[in-house]
Chain A
Amino acid sequence: MKSTSALPPLALLVSGCSGAQSVLNAEGHAAIELKALILGIIFVCAVVWLLVTIALVLALVRRRDRNDGAISERKAAAVVSGAVGATVLVITGLTIASFYTTRALSEAPGPELTIDVTAQQWWWRFTYGGSNSADAFATANELHIPVGKVVRLRLRSSDVIHSFWVPSLAGKQDLIPGRENTLTLRAERPGVYRGQCAEFCGLQHSHMALFVIAEAQADYERWAERQRGPVAEPTEAEAVAGKAAFMAKQCAACHTIRGTRASGTTGPDLTHIASRRTIAAGLLENTRGSLAAWIADPQTLKPGTHMPLVPLTSDELRQLAVYMEGLE
């Protein structure tokens, strides 16, 4: 029995969690139901394929008698009718199984938490606590949810069609401009679950990942509390210089850091960027080095992304990275 105690977040570095994005690695209520159905259907179909292949081999290599014309013709008709009947039965069975799973999935109790998900080219915005309320806050590419709670995601897109898919937790659901879809998640075990956009959405469709972090209620509350609050003022000299560079350069036009005058909304909210595991929608681990690399040349790491290449001196770059690193 695998231990279900809270996983030490640092030990479970995103990159180290192999097999996290897998249908077979089911850790959510819906995904577990789906996995059972998927394995069941695959098993039935494998048996059917085996039977057909055996029949094919026998038909090709069987010994042939001289005169079995008329009788075996009739026998064949009976066998074929039987096989068609069996097909109908199997198909009906699978259809009913599929309906039952659908019903089981839609019978989840009412949501205990609602989160707004907005997809855009090529990252995810998660807004907690509604859009207008005072303690609302936004984060990017990293969705924290309490384990065992029914979480409803309101899915919207602000440009093209995307698809929200975290295979370990639930099936996918499209985000379509002009529509609002919902998806219900319930993680049964704490953990970090990788997901990815599953509908072709342009140049960087491949690098539009997200992480769902399911944690105990208390941990979740603590995380939310910290996210809600503003960020501490930098004290270290380099970080102070980094903040100045952030405000003076193009960064502030697209990014928000609550508590400062940076209030752009085109790019991800960076208020607590240092608390995230990855940057650039799962492209890089969140370290000072990768932050600097990403800021220095986003178009080489993720060609076509809307983050522009802002010319910076190496000092500015280092200071910015230090500042980002301090945005806990």
Chain B
Amino acid sequence: MMPGKVLNSNVAQPLVTILFFLLLVGLAALIGLARQPRQYRTDPPVAAALNQLRLMPGGIGGAPPEIYFALDRPYETSAYDLSQGKRLYSWFGCASCHGDGRGGAGPSLLDGWWLYGPSVVAIAASIRDGRPRGMPAFGSRMTTDQIWQLAGYVKTIGAYSASLAAPSRNDDKHTRPAENRAPAAILFNEAPPVPPRSDQGPSP
């Protein structure tokens, strides 16, 4: 019997649908293979290379080490790293000075005013080496990996448009909009920005 006759349109239809389905999933798998999976472990040599921050004089701004781009280890865009950064923010007591991000004893991270520039490298350097007037150095308390995760997270909360990878609210008292709702932008709209604080850091 002719297979063509047996596989009439009624029978072929579901098969076509399924082939279409599998095709799409297969294409996605190809893209998926190109994606980096979540990484939990950074090789010590890589960590050492990541530690080579290239800073401008005075520690204001700078460029990430070359390996940062080669690594495809995007501390600013991977949701997992950002959420780890968020946990580090509470584990290492950042809130005791910076509060929920709006500052306290330390400067606000949400007012759009970056004393040492908005680049992630400058933030990482601030965490690692500390800054004058009270910011302690965490280089001896956090690993390079953790510093990058925390820096990525800090950059996210101060961003004026929320990235898709930004973490959401915590399971605790709600004191400001969650990171994935761009708290900086919302607070900026709600109240005028805090005036520049000349008492902290070098003047920009």
Where the two chains meet, the residues of A that have a C-beta atom closer than 8 Å to any C-beta of B are 177-178, 248-250, 252-254, 266, 297, 299-300, 303-306, 308-311
B142: which A residues are within 8 A, CB to CB? 250, 253, 308
Looking at chain A's contact residues, the main secondary structure is: loop
Q: Bound complex: CA of A71 vs CA of B126, how far in Å?
A: 93
Given A266-B91, A299-B40, A311-B48, verify A250-B141 contact (CB < 8 Å): yes
Shortest distance in angstroms between A156's beta carbon and chain B's nearest beta carbon? 14
B88-130 interface with A by 8 A CB criterion: 91-92
With contacts defined as CB atoms under 8 Å apart, how many contacts are there between chain A and chain B in the complex? 39
- The 8 lowest CB-CB distance pairs between A and B, nearest first, are A299-B41, A253-B141, A311-B44, A308-B143, A299-B40, A266-B91, A304-B40, A303-B40
Q: Bound complex: CA of A306 vs CA of B143, how far in Å?
A: 12
Nearest residue, chain A, Cβ from B84: A306
Q: Bound complex: CA of A305 vs CA of B140, how far in Å?
A: 20
Which of A248, A253, A310 is in CB contact (< 8 Å) with B92? Answer: A253
B141: which A residues are within 8 A, CB to CB? 250, 252-253
Q: Bound complex: CA of A248 vs CA of B142, how far in Å?
A: 11
Nearest residue, chain B, Cβ from A248: B140
Q: Say if the beta carbon of B47 comes within 8 Å of chain A.
A: yes
Looking at chain B's contact residues, the main secondary structure is: loop
A177: which B residues are within 8 A, CB to CB? 171
Q: Bound complex: CA of A105 vs CA of B48, how far in Å?
A: 57
Nearest residue, chain A, Cβ from B139: A250
A299: which B residues are within 8 A, CB to CB? 40-41
Given A253-B142, A254-B91, A309-B42, 15 further pairs, Cβ under 8 A: A178-B171, A249-B140, A250-B140, A250-B141, A250-B143, A252-B141, A253-B141, A297-B41, A299-B41, A305-B40, A306-B87, A308-B143, A308-B146, A309-B44, A311-B44
Task: Give 7 A-B contacts (CB < 8 Å), ordered by A residue.
Answer: A248-B140, A249-B140, A253-B92, A253-B141, A303-B40, A308-B143, A309-B143
Which of B40, B48, B143, B171 is in CB contact (< 8 Å) with A310? Answer: B143
A309: which B residues are within 8 A, CB to CB? 41-42, 44, 47, 143, 145
Residue of A177, A297, A308 most packed against chain B (CB within 10 A): A308
Shortest distance in angstroms between A234's beta carbon and chain B's nearest beta carbon? 20
A311: which B residues are within 8 A, CB to CB? 44, 47-48, 143
B143: which A residues are within 8 A, CB to CB? 250, 308-311
Q: Bound complex: CA of A300 vs CA of B145, how far in Å?
A: 15
Shortest distance in angstroms between A257's beta carbon and chain B's nearest beta carbon? 15
A310: which B residues are within 8 A, CB to CB? 143
B55-109 interface with A by 8 A CB criterion: 87, 91-92
Q: Bound complex: CA of A253 vs CA of B44, how far in Å?
A: 19
Q: Bound complex: CA of A304 vs CA of B80, how far in Å?
A: 11
Nearest residue, chain A, Cβ from B43: A309
Nearest residue, chain A, Cβ from B38: A304
B87: which A residues are within 8 A, CB to CB? 306
Residue of B40, B87, B142 most packed against chain A (CB within 10 A): B40
B12-55 interface with A by 8 A CB criterion: 40-42, 44, 47-48
Residue of A177, A249, A250, A305 most packed against chain B (CB within 10 A): A250
Shortest distance in angstroms between A304's beta carbon and chain B's nearest beta carbon? 5
Q: Bound complex: CA of A311 vs CA of B48, how far in Å?
A: 9
Q: Bound complex: CA of A306 vs CA of B146, how far in Å?
A: 10
Q: Bound complex: CA of A300 vs CA of B41, how far in Å?
A: 7
Shortest distance in angstroms between A62's beta carbon and chain B's nearest beta carbon? 42
Nearest residue, chain A, Cβ from B90: A266
Q: Bound complex: CA of A240 vs CA of B174, how far in Å?
A: 46
Shortest distance in angstroms between B154's beta carbon and chain A's nearest beta carbon? 18
Nearest residue, chain A, Cβ from B42: A309
Q: Bound complex: CA of A31 vs CA of B135, how far in Å?
A: 54
B145: which A residues are within 8 A, CB to CB? 308-309
B42: which A residues are within 8 A, CB to CB? 309
Nearest residue, chain B, Cβ from A311: B44
Q: Bound complex: CA of A79 vs CA of B173, how far in Å?
A: 63
B91: which A residues are within 8 A, CB to CB? 254, 266
Contact flags (1/0) for B142-164 with A, using CB distance below 8 Å?
11011000000000000000000
Shortest distance in angstroms between A255's beta carbon and chain B's nearest beta carbon? 11
Q: Bound complex: CA of A308 vs CA of B149, how far in Å?
A: 12
B47: which A residues are within 8 A, CB to CB? 309, 311
B44: which A residues are within 8 A, CB to CB? 309, 311
Q: Bound complex: CA of A266 vs CA of B93, how far in Å?
A: 11
Q: Bound complex: CA of A308 vs CA of B143, how far in Å?
A: 7
